Amino acid sequence: MPATGTVTSLARLSRTRGLWLGMAIAVTCAGLWFFFSSLWDLWTRDGLRSIGMLIPPTSLVLCLRAWRGQEWKGGSWWGLGLMALSIGVALISPRLGTGVGYVAAYRYVFNFLPVGPLLWAYASGAVILLGGATAWRKAAFPLALLLFVNPVPQFFVEFMDLPLQHFGASVAWAFAGWVGIPVIGEPTELWLYFAPGYGMFIAPECNGLRSAVTLGYVTLVAGYLFRLSWPSHALYVTGGVLFAFVLNAARLCVLVLLNRLALGVPFLYRALEREAEWIDYMLYIPMFLVGALFLLGIPRLLARRREQAP
């Protein structure tokens, strides 16, 4: 039977460890709240970047999956240093201004202190603090997803937006000519006129970037879950992004047919005049879902072939 003093010291040690663990978790949550509160404005005011809202919960779920069954042997104080460094840089980065934090090239602005790497460093430090380097290695990929909480940097949007709009207009214009639909206007004007006063404008929302970003992250996660090799994973993600632009081009071609049909159908003509955006969404959502399911089936098929291989 253990001595009373030994039992008391063990209980005191257990309470001390519990206190430190509780403080570490509280500090971690406070830091994450700091990052997410600043990201919330980014996610809610920009439809393209709202996709980043799904990154943290996806990262958390994949981390828990990676840690399932792991025996936690204690963390390292090095993680606290990494957390403090990332928080410190995040606090001072708005004060650095254009001289250090940002460099302008022509009309594009590059941010060398983006929130994604800072959040990744903070979350990595928290994992090392609580679970050590082994826990970090097991969840390296899910944690790396936090690098993309801002899915598309602003300079990339400014660089690619207009060329993608022109590409979409060119595809729609060429399709209209191929099927014999008379169209007035040029692709460079981003307008396709089917009749005087009635036409279709290729807006920035028609550039395909939202679909490309979404399918890019879907294939990124799916490739990880199905354990694709790095070359296959990179090819799969690239194919998913390019496939999104193919889907967007098909969407514009369907809209060309629909607008041409509307000239002879008064009800459809009035509907397109009033609710063109909603009709566009209702047409494209099924196309996008079918395309996403098709892409998700590719790694599943590859996994089955690996299992059946001798």
Residues 168 and 129 in one domain: no
**Which of 215, 104, 198, 202 has the alpha carbon at shortest distance from 158?**
104
Q: Are residues 190 and 131 part of one domain?
A: no
Q: Does residue 227 register a pLDDT over 50?
A: yes
Specify whether 161 is located in the same domain as 300.
Answer: yes
The domain boundary residue, chosen from 90, 124, 150: 150
Same domain, 105 and 160: no
Of 224, 31, 12, nearest to 130 by C-alpha is 31
Residues 293 and 260 placed together within one structural domain of the fold: yes
Do 140 and 162 lie in a common domain? no
Q: Which helix (H) or strand (E) holds 234?
A: helix 230-262
Confidence of residue 6 (pLDDT cuts 50, 70, 90): very low
* Structure confidence at residue 7 as a pLDDT band (50, 70, 90): very low
Count of domains forming the chain: 2
- Name the range with the highest mean pLDDT among 33-37, 49-53, 104-108, 196-200: 49-53
- Name the more confident of 261 and 27: 261
Reported as a pLDDT band with limits 50, 70 and 90, residue 25 is confident
Residue of higher predicted confidence among 178 and 23: 178
pLDDT of 56-69, one tens digit each? 999 999 999 998 87
Beta-carbon count within 10 A of 295 CB? 19
Alpha carbon of 274 to those of 207, 254, 280: distances in Å? 22, 18, 12
Domain boundary among 150, 168, 198: 150
pLDDT of res. 21: 62
DSSP assignment of 103-133 equals EEETTEEEESS-HHHHHHHHHHHHHHHHHHH
Phi, psi angle pair for 153, to nearest 5°: -60, 150
Question: Which of 150, 174, 209 is the last residue before a domain boundary?
Answer: 150
What six digits make up the tokens of 19? 């206190």
Angle at 109 between CA 104 and CA 115, to 5 degrees: 130
188 & 54 share domain: no
Considering the domain architecture, whether residues 141 and 13 belong to the same structural domain is answered as yes
Answer yes or no: do 48 and 114 share one domain. Answer: yes
Q: 119-132, pLDDT tens digit by residue? A: 899 899 888 888 88
What residues make up the domain containing 40?
4-150
Regarding whether 124 and 34 lie in a shared domain, the answer is yes
> pLDDT confidence of 153, banded at 50, 70, 90?
confident
pLDDT given for residue 145 in this prediction: 94
For residue 245, what pLDDT is reported?
A: 92
Same domain, 64 and 175: no
Whether residues 222 and 83 share a domain: the answer is no
Percent of the chain with pLDDT over 90: 19
Q: Show the tokens assigned to 281.
A: 């969404």
